[in-house]
Amino acid sequence: MHRRAFLQLTGGVLAASALAGGLGRLAQAGTVRDGKVGDLGVADYTRMRRFVATSFGRTAYVEQGSGPVALFLHGFPLNSYQWRGVLPRLAAHRRCLAPDSMGLGYTEVTQGKSVTPASQVDMLIEFLDALGVGTVDLVANDSGGAVAQLFMVRHADRVRSVLLTNCDVENDSPPPGVMPVIEAARKGTFARDFFVKQVDDHSLVHAPTGLGGACYTFPGHPTDDAIDMYMRPLVATPERMALTNAYALGLFPNPLAGIEASLRQFRRPVRIVWGTGDTIFSPKSPDYLDQVLPLSHGVRKVKGAKLFFPEEYPELIAEEAKKLWGVR
């Protein structure tokens, strides 16, 4: 119920040189352990955080790598820290941009601005324009997947490819299990009653009905550091709690209503990676997307993985992204 309460190297010597340089850059960010790329830590992520000014406020984001841009869209109530394991694994192939959605994470929202999925798309376009970015490869999870689909149909000319993980689809948005969250947000009590308690007592996060128990595959996830990174910004002030509630309210009515016809006209490659242990979204949704999207590269189902599995399986996500992008 509390789901809301994811440079191709060629040639021998050149490849080795590029890889060494890439590992050196990642080592400076604290992401290489014994020669292997690993997750970014809280200190790394905090140090790397930047802000871009748009008419919607100041968008917080983290950037790694160079080359064509990949844009990573996270779920609710997470922020871009969800992608901390994926970014360093793809930085050799893409300029990876991971922004925090409005109402979540560390993005600062201009007073009075909407934080609905449609408005998130408008913000992202301004964000990309401010950075001089044209086209992107989209990678998305959860409500970020709804934003990605709106981005796909409204700005298809700015999309090269899409990797979708467990997320809303038109006939399952919002899913029934999210309605109690939306009702609590209508009353203005969701952020206070859910997140404040779990920030103070992390054991509640790992209870069966807590964020970890409901939406993560492995016991102990999210970690204590991740809980603080995700939840503390949401309850930092009464204004932030109101924005958190507003984000939940933006998920109803269905933000994807009527989108199927446009998705059927979307002519970019799409790969769907879906955790089968997800109890929030319908298990029929990945096959639905596969049938609707004309250039779908098929579905990979990850047995037993729950909603926020991209955080727990960064190597798998990186593997699928590289296949989609055609890089080694």
Strands 270-275 and 296-302: parallel
pLDDT for 37 equals 56
Cα–Cα nearest to 100, from 117, 81, 114 = 81
What CA–CA distance (Å, rounded) separates 186 from 180?
A: 10
Cα–Cα nearest to 164, from 131, 134, 128, 138 = 138
For residues 97 and 250, the answer to whether their CB atoms sit within 8 Å is no
Cα–Cα nearest to 67, from 117, 120, 20, 136 = 136
- Give the other-Cβ count within 10 Å of 32's Cβ: 17
What CA–CA distance (Å, rounded) separates 101 from 72?
A: 10
Residues with Cβ within 8 Å of 74's Cβ and at least 6 positions away in sequence, in order, are 6, 80, 81, 82, 83, 98, 100, 101, 104, 105, 141, 142, 144
What CA–CA distance (Å, rounded) separates 149 from 264?
A: 11
Strands 296-302 and 108-109: unpaired
Cα–Cα nearest to 40, from 26, 54, 52, 53 = 26
Residues with Cβ within 8 Å of 202's Cβ and at least 6 positions away in sequence, in order, are 224, 227
pLDDT tens digits, 2-37: 443 333 323 332 233 333 334 333 333 334 333 345
What CA–CA distance (Å, rounded) separates 209 from 213?
A: 6
User: Which two structure tokens, joined as six digits, stand for 295?
Assistant: 């250039």
Intervals of the chain under pLDDT 70: 1-37
What CA–CA distance (Å, rounded) separates 186 from 169?
A: 23
For residues 27 and 34, the answer to whether their CB atoms sit within 8 Å is no
Query: Could you give the C-alpha distances from 154 to 59, 101, 141, in angstroms and in order?
Result: 21, 18, 19
Q: What's the predicted TM-score (pTM) here?
A: 0.89
Q: Which residue has the tokens 């990676």?
A: 273
For residues 302 and 275, the answer to whether their CB atoms sit within 8 Å is yes
